[in-house]
């Protein structure tokens, strides 16, 4: 397979974040189309490496091997078998097949998976001249295949990422209800924060939101600290990732001074947050301190606050969580020049915070529907033009 071969690609994302993924791709110079839960684009090996290394808000980058309509299991088998699997899978490839089926005539997901697997096996046997009596070894490189049916349209993909993109590799420890790194990055990117302004998370837990803000502030590629499954494939040119990583390192701005602070009432969480920041080399970019919300004061102006407080989902927690929302309102509302962004699944949040949000945005934190309550601060005065 040549470096220049063009692949059809898809970046998957949590519902509500696909527009951000689309913006990220376009900012990387990659044209794309955004659909529900995904962004579709085309590119070569370098595009695959760039998307994996740089996308902050996506889950995975997959190669679309084929798309077609299928109304029977026979048709599914024949059309999967007709795809050029030998272009991707060596004779000893390990290739489990995952699946999903939504509103399709072929509604049995396990049947769709086993038929897809059988079709690929048959294709590889024919191409590699293996007898039907000898099973394929599957002792080589790993290729996660997915057959996804929506209505009667089938999309067959190979995952290039491996462990999801939210696994940046810096989280040594996490708290009780951790926010995924790509969701934390999305929360930062949905604000009006600029790297020359203060940034604060008043309920920082294990520090994920602050760390993602620091990665953005320093323009550090979120995937620089990890590897991707496609790097284990013999046809994927190792020099491509080497080039993309070297370019990413050159684009990082390690010298900029950032004003990022995280606080939490729990001292153990602060220690975990500090350790996580140290692990990724951002210990000097973020200040973490043990502090209750009601004790927070600041003289700083035009900052941005992002918070993912407890939601009170567990029995008996509702009262203490709503007391926290009330404290947040009392402490944060007077900070007129600060913009505040608070994520919670409690739709009565505004009532306890004591003010209506400027804007609300629906997001999914895993399977849980949440709202990002946005309170926009006053804009800084314009600087007078120099004569």
Q: Return the domain boundaries, the chain.
A: 7-159, 181-219+254-375
Res 387 pLDDT > 60 = no
Distance CA 194, CA 130 (A): 59
Helices (runs of H) and strands (runs of E) counted in the chain: 10, 14
**Positive/negative CA dihedral, 323, 324, 326, 331:** positive
**Positive/negative CA dihedral, 111, 113, 116, 122:** negative
Selection from 35, 45, 41 nearest residue 13 by Cα: 35
Distance CA 280, CA 224 (A): 10
User: Among 19-28, 294-303, 311-320, 377-386, which is the least confidently predicted range?
Assistant: 311-320
Output the CA–CA distances (angstroms, integers) from residue 25 to 20, 212, 337, in the order listed.
9, 18, 32
Contacts of residue 182, defined as CB under 8 A and 6 or more positions apart, other chains included, come to 13, 14, 17, 56, 57, 58, 59, 164, 165, 166
What does the pLDDT read at residue 315? 54
Distance CA 347, CA 338 (A): 23
Q: Chain-wide mean pLDDT for the chain? A: 94
Residue 250 phi/psi, 5-degree rounding, is -70, -30
Helix or strand (DSSP H, E) at 327: helix 318-332
DSSP reduced 3-state for 297: coil
What does the pLDDT read at residue 316? 64
Q: Could you read off the pLDDT of 119-136 as tens digits, one per residue?
A: 999 999 999 999 988 889
CB atoms within 10 A of CB 359: 10
Distance CA 24, CA 41 (A): 12
Distance CA 213, CA 258 (A): 9
Distance CA 180, CA 190 (A): 16
Distance CA 266, CA 261 (A): 15
Distance CA 121, CA 322 (A): 56
Q: Could you read off the pLDDT of 272-320 as tens digits, one per residue?
A: 999 999 999 999 999 999 999 999 999 999 999 999 998 766 656 788 8
Which of 3.30.1490.190, 3.30.420.10, 3.40.50.150, 3.30.470.30 would CATH assign to domain 181-219+254-375? 3.40.50.150
Burial of 170-205, coded b for 16+ CB within 10 Å and e otherwise, reads bbeeebeeebbbbbbbbbbbbbebebebbbbbbbbb
Task: With cut-offs at 50, 70 and 90, classify the pLDDT of residue 141.
Answer: very high
Q: Where are the beta strands (DSSP E) in 160-283?
A: 199-201, 260-264
Q: Where are the beta strands (DSSP E) in 202-338?
A: 260-264, 286-290, 304-307
What does the pLDDT read at residue 228? 98
Res 176 pLDDT > 90 = no
7-159 maps to CATH 3.30.2130.30: yes
Distance CA 44, CA 61 (A): 13
What does the pLDDT read at residue 172? 85
CB atoms within 10 A of CB 135: 9
Q: What is the pTM of this model?
A: 0.93
CB atoms within 10 A of CB 259: 16
CB atoms within 10 A of CB 119: 22
């Amino acid at each position: 397979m040549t470096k220049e071969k063009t692949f059809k690609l898809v970046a998957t994302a949590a519902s509500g974040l696909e527009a951000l993924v689309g913006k990220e791709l376009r900012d990387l110079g990659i044209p794309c189309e955004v659909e529900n839960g995904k962004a579709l684009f085309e590119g070569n090996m370098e595009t695959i490496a760039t998307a994996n290394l740089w996308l902050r808000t996506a889950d995975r980058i997959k190669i679309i091997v084929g798309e077609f309509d299928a109304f029977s299991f026979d048709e599914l088998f024949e059309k999967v078998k007709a795809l050029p699997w030998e272009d991707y899978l060596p004779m000893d490839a390990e290739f489990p097949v995952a699946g999903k089926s939504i509103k399709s005539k072929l509604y049995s997901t396990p049947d769709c998976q086993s038929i897809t697997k059988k079709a690929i096996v048959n294709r590889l046997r024919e191409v590699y001249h293996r007898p039907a009596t000898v099973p394929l070894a599957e002792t080589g490189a790993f290729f996660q295949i997915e057959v996804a049916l929506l209505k009667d349209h089938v999309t067959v993909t190979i995952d290039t990422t491996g462990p999801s993109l939210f696994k940046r590799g810096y989280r040594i420890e996490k708290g009780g209800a951790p926010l995924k790194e790509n969701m934390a990055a999305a929360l930062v990117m949905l604000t009006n924060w600029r790297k020359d302004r203060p940034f604060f998370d008043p309920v920082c837990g294990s520090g994920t939101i602050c760390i993602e803000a620091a990665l953005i502030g320093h323009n550090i590629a979120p995937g620089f600290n990890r590897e991707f499954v496609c790097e284990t494939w013999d046809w994927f040119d190792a020099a491509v990732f080497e080039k993309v990583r070297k370019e990413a390192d050159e684009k990082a701005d390690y010298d900029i001074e950032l004003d990022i602070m995280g606080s939490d009432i729990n001292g153990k969480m602060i220690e975990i947050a500090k350790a996580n920041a140290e692990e990724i080399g951002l210990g000097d970019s973020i200040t973490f301190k043990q502090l209750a919300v009601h004790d927070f004061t600041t003289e700083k102006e035009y900052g941005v606050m992002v918070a993912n407080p407890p939601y009170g989902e567990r029995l008996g927690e509702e009262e203490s969580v709503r007391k926290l929302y009330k404290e947040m309102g009392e402490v944060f509302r007077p900070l007129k020049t600060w913009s505040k962004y608070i994520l919670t699944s409690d739709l009565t949040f505004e009532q306890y915070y004591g003010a209506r949000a400027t804007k609300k945005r629906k997001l999914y934190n895993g399977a849980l529907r949440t709202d990002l309550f946005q309170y926009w601060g006053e804009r800084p005065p314009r600087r007078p033009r120099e004569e």
